[in-house]
Structure 1
């Protein structure tokens, strides 16, 4: 075994000896240049500041675990073009600034939210999906996410308090579009992704509402009734005359898992259609970051780490990593504490430097509300006078609602003008 290996910070374990970072030690809170990881808090700190570190295997405990991580590090990823072998992948670039795009994202989301609510109500009464209405409503959303996804992701996060039955599906559609954009899928493919995400849970309209609100573990019978929403969804799609293969596959397979542990058919690996692999990721992320009857919402960064840990078990590694690139290590609206002690919310990221996003500072170092939020650009922030103090950076992410912060209550529009 090599004496020193490069390891992604998401693969770190207690007992590993960190001998070097991917940045100068002085840019981090770690003042000892080389240490053995003893606590989860140290791992969290390393993840907050570094993408990868160098581990001395000779000074590490649990050498078997280190060896396993080395094997994972030597894994050869599957090219995205091989996953989407039947499609032409391209690329997108940011065409607008955050502040310019935000009102367009607001309008697009409001239109789709209203129309989706009407569609769900019609289906709940026994009607069919108004596909023409949904497709028309999807177009502005695709356009805004294609130009600059950060604005739409921000607006979506601020609306997470909406507990409408269809809100989960709306969130999943937005994450699916963000991932599809990152993958370089065509506009036509993005339309199918959005429609499939909006409809993949529509079968829950035929599940007992009381079952959806249970706060305890489900019995085997209840679990079977819940899982039947997939079959119900397929029936609704068929009754509505929807035959787009991607949409049908997303409804049918969004609960299948890479290792075969999903339902209803126990498909695994390449047996799962690529769009359904996307559906599974965004469905899971949307669920983890929302309050549910049986679980409170995770912070966006925590949910990202959970997804990262499911690579090649729950979900295909290459698609998980693409999703993280799409939404970021600190997704928009993540509450963070800075090295100054100030607390803020992530507004937008630089796709080249995920650890140095733009942060809207809300609380001062004493954790008291500032008179007015201040936008701080961690990547382009000038060095302190004399250049002797360490640069400002993120120390840790915080759970939603930390320090009593309710993002929906903050008047942020003026502060966002420079984003």
Structure 2
């Protein structure tokens, strides 16, 4: 567990907790063996006596960006093999194109969404999950994402459901498997990631439904009740005989955060199982990009920005960066405004052309609907001058429905 860091006094900042010096305390005017830096004067005085000191990260009180720098300073960048020791890591190659995979992905997600409803309903009635059925249910999803994740990522944006929990579970599973694929994790790990993501919120079956749908800020007592969904989820999967350690870790630790600010155990850095670090990222991303009772959905690119700013604060930087590589800066289904003023929906090739993806232009520069939406490859626009994305808009902006027949009818041909 990362707690004590060597810091040169030239790099000290207010909010750091000094736990040890580079010399005996009695050789300095500092009488207390351990103190919080609260002023620049203290730092200047430390510089007069010490070249470096040791900082206790658990007792430091820093702004988020300061915390990220402190954690980053205390560890080296890790390759995937070091994050997931003992697991065979190998890059995936696309084995189908978007049009080939679209129908298979659509069928896989329809079936899985139906299975999620059944599995959660049974868990609500019996307090147990049918693990064998769940394992079978995720196979088509894992197969589709393994071949080519583009179709699943696109269709996930189209799926609608009255229950936020079911849709959130499906979305989290897709993002988790896509990130696992990007990292090169073996297929059995992709299956574990899908199962763990689908079960992360199963404990909410034991939470008062009024709290789950509250459109106001929860009281502290109510928030504590909500946080108990983790313990409830662990109890349900234990009662179900789940022995997969990765699934258990995702359910038990998906709300832990890299800097120790999460719950229920306030685990930090490497104390959080790697798959649970993945779970935290995909859980947060899907929540931010979904309409909830207390918050409107962010645009995917805005959510990506939030995750990027939280690297090595709430989430491990290497995993955040891999997630962005997996889904793109402007994921499929993002509503964007071009520098021409036209409005478009991102379609395909966002993984390989992150800044210049293929889009479907659905509004003209005056934001009027286009009768016959046109496909544009932003990397090869007219007159040899590529168009650029000016900004991303919130889901549903300009009255655009991603499930509109014109868009769905076009998507398979990309």
Displacement, 1:276?
Answer: 0.3
Conserved in 1, the CA contact under 8 Å of 2:165 and 2:201?
no
For residues 151 and 166 of structure 2, the distance between their equivalents in structure 1, rounded to whole angstroms, comes to 21
Any residues of structure 2 matched to 1:23-102 within 5 Å, and which?
A: 76-102=76-102
Structure 1 residue 402 and structure 2 residue 397: aligned? yes
Displacement, 1:92?
Answer: 0.7
Conserved in 1, the CA contact under 8 Å of 2:331 and 2:350?
no
The higher radius of gyration belongs to 2
Q: Which secondary structure state, in structure 2, belongs to the residue aligned with residue 165 of structure 1?
A: helix
For residues 298 and 386 of structure 2, the distance between their equivalents in structure 1, rounded to whole angstroms, comes to 28
Which residue of the partner structure matches residue 261 of structure 1? 261
Which residue of the partner structure matches residue 223 of structure 1? 223
Which residue of the partner structure matches residue 348 of structure 2? 348
Displacement, 1:284?
Answer: 0.4
Displacement, 1:86?
Answer: 2.0
Q: Which secondary structure state, in structure 2, belongs to the residue aligned with residue 135 of structure 1?
A: helix
For residues 239 and 112 of structure 1, the distance between their equivalents in structure 2, rounded to whole angstroms, comes to 23
Conserved in 2, the CA contact under 8 Å of 1:328 and 1:349?
no
Question: TM-score scaled to structure 1, two decimals?
Answer: 0.79
Change (3 A) 1:183 1:162: farther
List gaps (5 residues or longer) in structure 1.
1-64
For residues 301 and 405 of structure 2, the distance between their equivalents in structure 1, rounded to whole angstroms, comes to 21
Displacement, 1:75?
Answer: 8.5
Displacement, 1:338?
Answer: 1.1
Q: Which secondary structure state, in structure 2, belongs to the residue aligned with residue 267 of structure 1?
A: coil
Which residue of the partner structure matches residue 337 of structure 1? 337
For residues 241 and 171 of structure 1, the distance between their equivalents in structure 2, rounded to whole angstroms, comes to 25
1:391 paired residue among 386, 391, 394? 386
For residues 147 and 287 of structure 1, the distance between their equivalents in structure 2, rounded to whole angstroms, comes to 26
Displacement, 1:375?
Answer: 1.4
Matched residues, number: 348
Q: Which secondary structure state, in structure 1, belongs to the residue aligned with residue 360 of structure 2?
A: strand
List gaps (5 residues or longer) in structure 2.
1-64
Which residue of the partner structure matches residue 166 of structure 2? 166
Displacement, 1:230?
Answer: 0.6
Any residues of structure 2 matched to 1:226-237 within 5 Å, and which?
A: 226-237=226-237
Query: Could you list the per-position Cα deviations for residues 191-249 of structure 1 after superposition, in whole angstroms to 9, with x for gaps in the alignment?
Result: 11100000011000001111111122222211111111111001100111111000001
Which residue of the partner structure matches residue 187 of structure 1? 187
Conserved in 2, the CA contact under 8 Å of 1:168 and 1:287?
yes
Displacement, 1:74?
Answer: 12
Which residue of the partner structure matches residue 285 of structure 1? 285
Which residue of the partner structure matches residue 33 of structure 1? none
Which residue of the partner structure matches residue 411 of structure 1? 406
Which residue of the partner structure matches residue 20 of structure 1? none
Question: TM-score scaled to structure 2, two decimals?
Answer: 0.80
For residues 298 and 163 of structure 1, the distance between their equivalents in structure 2, rounded to whole angstroms, comes to 18
